[in-house]
Amino acid sequence: MRLNIKSTNLVVTPSLQEFIETKLGRLQKIVQKMEKNQELLLRVEVGRTTKHHKKGEVFRAEANLDIGKNVLRAESEHEDIHVAINDVYHELEREVTKFKEKLQPSKQKR
């Protein structure tokens, strides 16, 4: 799985980049079997929603996971960039789990 990080109105420090890679890199275990068939791309965008506000939900994180022709997407806004990234991870984890369940053939009742 390739990881592409983009920032908007925010400087991505090495510690923030490491946090993003560590947190969203956990998805690698979940999508491991799907990756055998095709290359997966995880696009992450972090940033500030405004340049002049200091309080409130000013940080934004968004992640798009490309699985073939399908795109799984998660987005979060929060006061802390780390919490926003954490929320995005959990949302994307739920979406990947639901997507995997759809791919599995349903068991017929007897």
Tell me the pLDDT tens digit for each residue of 10-66. Answer: 899 999 999 999 999 899 888 887 777 778 899 999 999 877 666 667 899 999 999
Give the range of the structural domain holding residue 7, as residue numbers without chain letter: 2-103
Question: How far, in Å, CA of 82 to CA of 78, rounded?
Answer: 9
Position 42 in a domain? yes
Position 108 in a domain? no
The CATH number linked to 37 is 3.30.160.100
Position 18 in a domain? yes
Tell me if 32 sits within 8 A of 103, measured CB to CB: no
Q: Which residue has the higher pLDDT, 35 or 98?
A: 98
Position 37 in a domain? yes
Number of domains in the chain: 1
Position 110 in a domain? no
Global confidence as pTM: 0.85
Place of tokens 């002049």: 52
